[in-house]
């Protein structure tokens, strides 16, 4: 798990353009449009981040958006996992949270 966290952190930092995000926002159903409000945005697919979950719920796309919201560097997570999706998804969720903390 530690290797996945380090690898995912490095991918995210490479895409940040030198500005470390201050906030991570999980966008659930109905909030996905917030990601379109980001300026200087970059999108990373969860599939490009080792250990990140692939959402199985329709409408949850599995993208990490990096950009600025009202001038503040942020990460928006489009696509989340739910407990009913299985324990393997929970392990992936741990990687996601620990990666965001490492960034």
Residue closest to 24 by CA, chosen among 81, 77, 71, 99: 77
**pLDDT, position 59:** 62
Q: What is the mean pLDDT of each run of 10 residues along the chain (103 residues)?
A: 91 92 88 88 95 75 94 91 72 90 95
28: CATH: 3.40.50.1580
**pLDDT, position 32:** 78
Parent domain of 13: 2-102
Asked if 20 contacts 67 with a C-beta cutoff of 8 angstroms, the reply is no
Q: Is the pTM of this model over 0.75?
A: yes
Instruction: Indicate if the alpha-carbon torsion angle 33, 81, 51, 97 is positive or negative.
Output: positive
Structurally, the chain folds into a number of domains equal to: 1
């Amino acid at each position: 798990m530690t290797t996945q966290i380090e690898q995912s952190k490095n991918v995210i930092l490479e895409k940040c353009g030198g500005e470390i995000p201050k906030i991570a926002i999980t966008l659930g159903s109905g909030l996905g449009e917030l990601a379109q409000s980001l300026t200087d945005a970059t999108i990373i697919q969860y599939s490009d981040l080792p250990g990140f979950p692939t959402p199985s719920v329709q409408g949850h796309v599995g993208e990490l958006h990096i950009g600025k919201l009202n001038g503040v560097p942020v990460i928006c997570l489009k696509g989340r996992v739910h407990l009913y999706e299985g324990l393997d998804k929970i392990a992936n969720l741990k990687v996601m949270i620990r990666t965001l903390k490492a960034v």
